[in-house]
Structure 1
Amino acid sequence: MSRHLIRTVREHEDSVDGPDQAGRPILSLRDAEVRTADGTKLLTVASLDVLAGQRIAVTGPSGSGKSLLLSTLSGRWPVGLSLTGERTTRLRRIGFVPQRGLDALHPLVPLARQLRTVTGADPARVGTVLAAVGLDDPALHRRRPTELSGGQAQRASVALAALTDAPLILADEPTSALDHESRDQTLRLLEEIVGPRQTLVVATHDLAVVRTLGARHLAVSDGVVSELVPGAGPGAVPGVGPGSSR
């Protein structure tokens, strides 16, 4: 089949949560390109394997294609864009943490009730996860997201992603609007709330995120995704290998 013809996404029934899944790809891209309706190429990924339990940082300047890579990993693209190549996954659930926490939440539905309704989690678990992200005040649970501060809404979006129990969590510039202290706090929350068998992919323009997470490092430049190998200097190596898992 031509690499310019879209291939069917293959979803498998096997679990990605067992201990035997460590080191196995949960999502792969091969000869993947995202194009506009007129054929303009916006993103190119020659080969990428995302493994269970990895921490992956995606860096690059604004407009380079970081968010589009996350869209490609999630399998959802903005209207008018299409994928050619192959996207293979065993996942049925993917969590997402947006740049602005409010973008993940209904603005008018009280927080705790909203998280219970969206995820199906029982009240006790919702309370536990909200407490884990620093929102343990019951008064906050009854507030609408529009009544939360920006930092509180961001924490709530992390809690929402965690409550989905998704094997893969994508976070799109979750610290870009935060000061250094709040950035580090949010990263710690993500690292603590995302379990060791879950995979976390964070898009960022901040190299401190790479250092803080101790993450595998993908770089996007003019829509081309490459993997940066630690200690290899400024040169980029195409993302053809799994990299380190943590």
Structure 2
Amino acid sequence: MICMNNINKGYMLGEEKVPVLRDVCFRVEKGEFVAILGPSGSGKTTLMNIIGCMDIADSGEYFLDGNAIHEMTEKELNDVRNKEIGFIFQNYQLIPTYNILQNIIMPLVVRGMDSKEAEEKCMDTIRLLGIDHRLRHKPSELSGGQKQRVSIARALVGEPAILLADEPTGALDRSSGQEVLKLFGKLNSMGHTIVMITHDLNVAKSAGRIVNIIDGELSEADG
């Protein structure tokens, strides 16, 4: 599903280029749940941005679901972001003026689907996540855990190749965070491929595999 070979990325600091990722090789098989674990400044956000096609590597190869990402134009990358990747963010990134249903169906409407058709297509996912009774509410009327469920629903409805979660429990209390992680486990058992970025070892342990990132270098966690 994901195959990265010798990925390098750096950023200019004044006249000097500072390396952030160093010869990163990373594999994720279809149906895996993988956590990328690292502290602040380790390069995990940069790696996430490259996985999510929001940034491109300086060198190396990146294949996503058979597509050669490193050879794509910006327009092609935008298509991959919209169709192949379901994003789940720490701060939810819901549109405050939209109700919950409008937020969830937005990816399908952007693709040109009629709102009514999009609503019908999304209902199974909405029921799965237990938010069917809150569809006419605004995000401000929901708890943090409910907002994250909406974010997950929005990520799922486009039927992406992977779910990419950035610190998905970071804004939640412990109980709500555990519920979200249980939900990820359920989705993974249904066959969804999940890559989760986190700084928290306890959160990472919910994944089937943990990969450590330190100073821009990846290593498999022991055990």
Coarse TM-score class (shorter-chain normalised): 0.7 to 0.9
Residues 1:70 and 2:48 are matched in the alignment: yes
State how far apart, in whole Å, the 1-side matches of 2:158 and 2:58 are: 26
Bigger proportion of residues as helix: 2
Answering whether residue 222 of structure 2 is matched by residue 229 of structure 1, we say yes
C-alpha contact 2:85 2:161 (8 A) present in aligned 1: yes
SS of residue paired to 2:218: strand
Deviation, structure 1 residue 194? 4.5
What is the CA deviation profile of residues 166-208 of structure 1, one whole-angstrom value per residue up to 9, with x for unaligned ones? 1111100001222222111001112223464331011112222
Distance 1:166 1:43 in 2: 26
- Structure 1 counterpart SS, 2:140: helix
TM-score by length of 2: 0.79
For 1:49-79, what per-residue CA distance to the aligned partner results, in whole angstroms no more than 9, with x for missing partners?
A: 22111110111112222222111112212xx
Aligned length: 197
Counterpart CA distance in 2 for 1:59 and 1:109 is 33
| Alignment match, 1:21 | none
Q: Which structure 2 residue ranges, 5 or more long, are not aligned?
A: 68-79
The residue that corresponds to 1:60 in the other structure is 38
> Are 1:43 and 2:39 matched, yes or no?
no
Q: 1:112 aligns with which of 101, 121, 136?
A: 101
Partner of 1:131: 127
Matching of residues 12-31 of structure 1 within 5 Å: 26-31=1-6
Q: Which runs of 4+ in 1 moved over 6 A?
A: none
Shift of 1:163: 1.0
Comparing 125-134 and 47-56, the one that deviates more:
125-134
Structure 1, unmatched stretches of 5+, are 1-25, 231-246
- What is the CA RMSD across the aligned residues, in angstroms? 2.1
Q: 2:145 pairs with 151, 161, 172, which one?
A: 151
Describe the SS at the equivalent of 1:122: helix
Other structure's SS at 2:203 match: helix
Structure 1 residue matching 2:164: 3-state secondary structure: strand
Select the residue among 69, 91, 100 that pairs with 1:100.
91
Aligned residue for 1:212, secondary structure, equals coil
For residue 136 of structure 1, report the CA deviation from its aligned partner: 2.4
Provide, for residues 202-243 of structure 1, a one-character-per-residue CA deviation record: whole Å limited to 9, x for no partner.
111222223333x2111111222221231xxxxxxxxxxxxx
